[in-house]
C-alpha cells in the first residue's frame, strides 16, 4: 500500500516571500504520478502541479515548482512570490500509473499568506 506524509500541519509566510511545503511518500511501484492539490476556502480541489515519476526534470507551473527526489521519495512544493490568493490547504497526493487507480492523499498543510 502507498502512504503519503506531510509533516507540516500549518505554515505561514509574508506576502511576496518564498515558501516550501514538504511531502514524503512510500511505495514499491516504479511508475506513478505525484500531485499537489490546493483547497481554498471555497472547498474546490484545484490541481496545482503534477509530476510523472519517469521524468527526471522537476515540474514547474508559473510560480509553483517541485523538487522531486525519487530515490529519497520526497516531493516538495515551492511557491515563489507568494500571493494572498495562495492561502489554502495544500494536499500532496500519489497515484499509481496503473488502470483504474485512486489518489492517496497526505494529511495536508494549511498555508496562510500574511499581508
| Residue of 7, 30, 102, 112 that binds another protein (CB under 8 A) | 102
For residue 35, what are the CA distances in angstroms to 13, 15, 16, 20? 22, 24, 24, 15
Tell me the window of 13-21, 22-30, 73-81, 96-104 that interacts with another protein (CB under 8 A).
Answer: 96-104
* 57 near another protein, rule: CB under 8 A: no
Query: Under 8 Å CB-to-CB from 66, ≥6 apart: which residues?
Result: 34, 36, 49, 51, 58, 59, 60, 75, 76, 77, 78
Stretch that binds another protein, among 12-20, 60-68, 72-80, 90-98 (CB under 8 A): 90-98
Residue whose entry in the numeric block shows the C-alpha cell 502541479: 49
Single residue of 9, 41, 85, 115 touching another protein by CB under 8 A: 9
Site for another protein in 14-53 (CB under 8 A): 33, 42-45, 47, 50, 52
Amino acid at each position: 500500500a502507498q502512504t503519503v506524509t506531510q509533516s507540516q500541519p500549518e505554515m505561514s509566510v509574508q506576502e511576496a516571500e518564498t515558501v516550501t511545503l514538504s511531502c514524503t511518500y512510500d511505495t514499491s511501484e516504479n511508475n506513478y504520478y505525484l500531485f499537489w492539490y490546493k483547497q481554498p476556502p471555497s472547498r474546490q480541489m484545484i490541481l496545482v502541479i503534477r509530476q510523472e515519476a519517469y521524468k527526471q526534470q522537476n515540474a514547474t507551473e508559473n510560480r509553483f515548482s517541485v523538487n522531486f527526489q525519487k530515490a529519497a521519495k520526497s516531493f516538495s512544493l515551492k511557491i515563489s512570490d507568494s500571493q494572498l490568493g495562495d492561502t489554502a490547504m495544500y494536499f500532496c497526493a500519489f497515484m499509481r500509473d496503473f488502470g483504474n487507480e485512486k489518489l492517496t492523499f497526505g494529511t495536508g498543510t494549511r498555508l496562510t499568506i500574511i499581508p
